[in-house]
């Protein structure tokens, strides 16, 4: 088959920075193909109003193929392949479809209503769903590139007048209920919202364990596709890919719980913890704390900070964190020998997280 270059979207940010294409993005590209074919049919109908039907074999001699992945950050090269020596006449509608789709993204970037009919915009519910907050897909047809990111995708789905949209998510919560007759279970988020989810056989063991340990606060993380309403509220899960039981000391869950404390929590004293600062701490823990080390126990401090603690072989270790200043006072104290190690850390810098990890690795005997 012969082929010609059709589309070279540039995938930028997050997971694409190491110049490789995550397999899950292939799902998005498959949806892009579906959208291109349907928009091409629409363009054909516009150009041929006298025809009631799309000719049989409209796509027979044409095929979209991923032939290469180029650097910078990641550029999948999508070719339009055809069986004859020259592209068939229908290829023009595929060219027009590409232009329409790129124009629609351009409109969404500028908060304008796309010209493409809303039923085709529905494809953006699945195309771009795999993108994370720090990632985008850039398309260039004229001088100015256009970007599909989380925000422009939302604008496009809103413009499709759909009742809601779906998102790939990782959500943490407890499982209060399972209904094996309907193959469903519920995930309860920390704000009390309950989301119904389909129960797959391969997840049954984890779900049953989580249900029986609900009262003991067993949390799980569910990765899958969640449905949201037009107001951005989660409604349910459309599909579930992974269910992972969480460590009882999961940092995010614990800090969410501590965020609920109000002023006066400590016998009339005790300052409430700043939610934004807690989110930043959660992020930094997730990013910089050595995953080979045991997670800390986390407690609020009277001044509105956090104290992380570890106990190991007569070592009592504390890290008192000032959330506003992002500083930490580390102290490891050996109860028998009275040996101690005190460090002042600036937790806004990666270097000091590395220093914290090293100090803990020595106590816990983790291989450096």
290 binds other proteins (CB under 8 A): no
CB atoms within 10 A of CB 40: 24
142 binds other proteins (CB under 8 A): no
Q: Candidates 165-173, 275-283, 328-336, 346-354: pick the segment binding other proteins (CB under 8 A).
A: 328-336
Beta strand 315-322 with 10-13 is unpaired
Going residue by residue from 255 to 274, which x/- string records binding to other proteins, judged by CB under 8 A?
A: --xx--x--xxxxxxx----
Residue 199: which of 243, 161, 247 has the closest Cα?
A: 243
Of the candidate residues 109, 290, 316, 322, the single one contacting other proteins (CB under 8 A): 316
Alpha helices in the chain (DSSP H): 25-47, 91-109, 118-121, 150-159, 204-212, 251-258, 275-288, 350-364
Asked if 57 is part of the footprint of other proteins (rule: CB under 8 A), the reply reads no
CB 148 within 8 A of CB 128: yes
Sign of the dihedral through C-alpha 214, 215, 221, 225: positive
In degrees, rounded to 5, the angle at the alpha carbon of residue 162 between the alpha carbons of residues 157 and 165 is 60
Q: Nearest distance from residue 290's CB to other proteins, in Å? A: 20
Q: Is 288 in the site for other proteins (CB under 8 A)?
A: no
Residue whose CB is less far from other proteins, 169 or 258: 258
Residue span 170-209 as binding mask against other proteins, x where in contact by CB under 8 A, dash where not: ----------------------------------------
Number of residues written out for the chain: 368
Selected range binding other proteins among 61-69, 161-169, 177-185, 329-337, rule: CB under 8 A: 329-337
Q: How far is the CB of 297 from other proteins (least distance, A)?
A: 5
Tokens of 40: 């091409």
Tokens of 96: 């027009």
Q: Are 180 and 142 in contact (CB under 8 A)?
A: no
Among 26, 249, 348, 354, binds other proteins (CB under 8 A): 249
Q: Which is nearer to other proteins, 216 or 367 (CB)?
A: 216
Site residues for other proteins, 96-125, by CB under 8 A, read none
**Three-state SS string across 172-226, please?**
EEEEEEEECCCCEEEEECCCCCEEEEECCHHHHHHHHHHHHCCCCCCCEEEEEEE
Task: Answer yes or no whether residue 313 interacts with other proteins by CB under 8 A.
Answer: no
Instruction: Give the nearer residue to other proteins in terms of CB position, either 12 or 359.
Output: 359
Q: With CB under 8 A as the rule, give the number of residues binding other proteins.
A: 33
Dihedral of the CA atoms 128, 130, 135, 140 (nearest 10)? -30
Minimum CB–partner distance for residue 12 and other proteins (Å):
40
Cβ pair 114, 104 in contact under 8 A = yes
Indicate which single residue of 206, 307, 326, 341 sits in contact with other proteins (rule: CB under 8 A): 307
8 A C-beta contact, residue 242 and residue 224: yes
If binding is defined by CB under 8 A, does position 354 make contact with other proteins?
A: no
Look at phi and psi of residue 365 and say left if phi exceeds 0, alpha if psi is from -120 to 50, else beta: left
Closer residue to other proteins in complex, CB, 120/315 = 315
For residue 303, give every residue at least 6 positions away whose Cβ sits within 8 Å of its Cβ, in sequence order, or none: 271, 322
Mark the segment that binds other proteins (CB under 8 A) among 32-40, 97-105, 155-163, 248-256.
248-256
The contact set with other proteins (CB under 8 A) reads 217, 248-249, 254, 257-258, 261, 264-270, 297-303, 307, 309, 311, 316, 318, 320, 331, 333, 335, 338, 340, 342
């Amino acid at each position: 088959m012969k082929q010609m270059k059709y589309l070279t979207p540039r995938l930028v940010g997050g997971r694409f920075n190491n110049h490789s294409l995550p397999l899950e993005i292939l799902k998005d590209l498959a949806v892009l193909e579906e959208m291109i074919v349907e928009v091409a049919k629409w363009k054909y109908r516009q150009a041929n109003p006298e025809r009631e039907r799309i000719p049989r074999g409209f796509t027979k001699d044409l095929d979209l193929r991923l032939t290469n992945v180029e650097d910078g950050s990641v550029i999948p090269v999508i070719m339009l392949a055809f069986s004859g020596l020259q592209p068939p006449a229908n290829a023009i509608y595929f060219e027009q479809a590409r232009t329409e789709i790129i124009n629609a993204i351009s409109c969404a970037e500028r908060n304008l209503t796309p010209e493409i009919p809303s039923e085709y915009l529905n494809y953006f519910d699945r195309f771009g769903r795999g993108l994370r907050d720090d990632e985008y897909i850039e398309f260039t047809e004229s001088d100015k590139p256009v970007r599909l990111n989380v925000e422009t995708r939302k604008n496009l789905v809103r413009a499709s007048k759909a009742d809601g949209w779906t998102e790939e998510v990782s959500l943490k919560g407890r499982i209060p209920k399972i209904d094996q007759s309907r193959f469903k279970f519920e995930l309860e988020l920390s704000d009390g919202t309950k989301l119904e989810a389909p129960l797959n056989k391969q997840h049954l063991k984890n779900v049953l364990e989580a249900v029986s340990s609900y009262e003991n606060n067993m949390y799980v993380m569910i990765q899958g596709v969640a449905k949201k309403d037009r107001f951005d509220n989660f409604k349910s899960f459309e599909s579930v890919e992974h269910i992972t039981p969480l460590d009882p000391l999961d940092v995010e869950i614990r800090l969410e719980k501590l965020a609920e404390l109000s002023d006066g929590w400590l016998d009339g004293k005790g300052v409430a913890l700043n939610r934004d600062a807690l989110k930043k701490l959660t992020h930094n823990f997730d990013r910089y704390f050595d995953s080979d080390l045991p997670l800390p126990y986390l407690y609020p401090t009277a001044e509105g900070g956090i104290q992380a603690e570890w106990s190991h072989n007569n070592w009592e270790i504390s890290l008192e964190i000032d959330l506003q200043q992002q500083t930490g006072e580390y102290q490891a104290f050996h109860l028998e020998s009275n040996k101690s190690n005190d460090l002042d850390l600036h937790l806004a810098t990666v270097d000091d997280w590395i220093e914290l990890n090293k100090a803990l690795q020595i106590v816990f005997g983790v291989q450096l």
